[in-house]
Amino acid sequence: MRSIQWMYGLLCFLIGASLCAPLAAQPIWPNRAIKLVVPFPPGGGTDLVARSIAARLSDALGQPVVAENRPGAGGTIGADAVAKSTPDGYTIGIATSSTHPAAIVLQKNVPYDPVKSFAPISLVGSTSYVLVATPTLAANNINELVAYARANPGKLNFANVGTSTLGYLLSLQLKALTSTQMVDVSYKGSAQIYPDLISGQVSVFLDNPGASTPLVNSGKLKAYGVTTPTPSMPNVSLFSQSGVTVGLREFDAAFWYGLVAPAGTPRAIIDRIQTETSKFVHSEAGKREFAARSLEPVGNTADQFTAIIQKDIERFSALAKQLNVQPQ
């Protein structure tokens, strides 16, 4: 009897050990550096947000989180690099309103699905759009700008960071609402636009306030209006208020930044990054940092972020149809 009990105990031990062995063999994540792909050039609003998040995730995860800029094609080159990476938690990316919902509306043959190709992690924060202009432009507010543009069709240049971006779509909406004609000029990133905007090589630019705030505050650029309340530009009026007489009452779009990983990334890793991201954006330090860049902290769940991407695809598709914008 004792022999049978001993054999039974040994068998249970061996079975338990065999079940635990694969778990014990799994490496602890993260055990090396994590790459954070930024789909736009250095110096712009997306890059600033990415580097802020990378620094805080590095502290929280105990491994370096290294921002890597992969610009081009309105952010789709960098987004595609994330989509095609190994889903092991060591490559994540910054997603934006442009790279995900807007890109497939405005660009032909986007090489990824904005939802299915990724494992959305969290919407980090949202911000406004601000219409900034060269300081030499003979207009001091949005009404004067519209009047000047109407009187001088085709004379003003309207900069953008790619025809597959949300900023470009909204610039078309602004021109349609105000019945103005301005020439579109595309750049690879906002950091390349600002020198030309300051010198007067281009006239106006619809951008997020993260990178433009110090230039406006120092007088190097003019600001004509913001789409949503913007703490870093308290003296700049909302389009919905100052632009009523020129058709901009409902020009109130926002722009968001989020984190994504390649589809198939383990949910435990997604949840860990989401948790640490949410902790930071809602911390006192995070809220101060975001407020300085006119960012509203969000830090929502992966499922909530997915729903927002899907909803924005529908919304931007409707706007593009209304403006008769065809994918290019």
Which residue is associated with the tokens 């949202």?
A: 126
Task: Answer yes or no: is pLDDT of 134 > 80.
Answer: yes
Instruction: Enter the DSSP assignment of 219.
Output: T
Residue 6: pLDDT band by 50, 70, 90 thresholds? very low
Compute the mean pLDDT over every residue in the chain, rounded to the nearest whole number: 91
Mean pLDDT of 94-122: 95
pLDDT digit string, tens, across residues 203-254: 999 999 988 999 999 999 999 999 999 988 999 999 999 888 899 988 999 9
Kindly calculate the radius of gyration of the chain based on its CA atoms and give it in whole angstroms: 24
Task: Answer yes or no: is pLDDT of 299 > 60.
Answer: yes
Interhelix angle 166-178/142-151, nearest 10 degrees: 70
Residue 10: per-residue pLDDT = 45
Mean pLDDT of 304-321: 96
Residue 250 vs residue 275, higher pLDDT: 275
Residue 16: per-residue pLDDT = 54
Residue 129: per-residue pLDDT = 95
Residue 237: per-residue pLDDT = 93
Of the ranges 1-10, 45-54, 114-123, which is most confident? 114-123
Task: Answer yes or no: is pLDDT of 260 > 90.
Answer: yes
Residue 44: pLDDT band by 50, 70, 90 thresholds? confident
Residue percentage of the chain with pLDDT more than 70: 92
Question: What domains can you pick out in the chain, each with its CATH number?
Answer: 34-126+255-322 (3.40.190.150), 130-246 (3.40.190.10)
Mean pLDDT of 186-200: 92
Residue 169: per-residue pLDDT = 95
Per-residue tokens: 157? 């240049």
pTM, full prediction:
0.82
Mean pLDDT of 256-264: 98
Residue 21: per-residue pLDDT = 45
Task: Answer yes or no: is pLDDT of 11 > 50.
Answer: no
Residue 328: per-residue pLDDT = 83
Residue percentage of the chain with pLDDT more than 90: 78
Say how far apart CA 89 and CA 92 lie, in whole Å.
7
Lowest mean pLDDT: which of 125-129, 156-160, 209-213? Answer: 209-213
Q: How far is CA 110 from CA 15, 78, 83, 155, 315, in A?
A: 49, 12, 12, 33, 18
- Judging by DSSP bridges, how do beta strands 204-207 and 118-127 pair with one another? unpaired
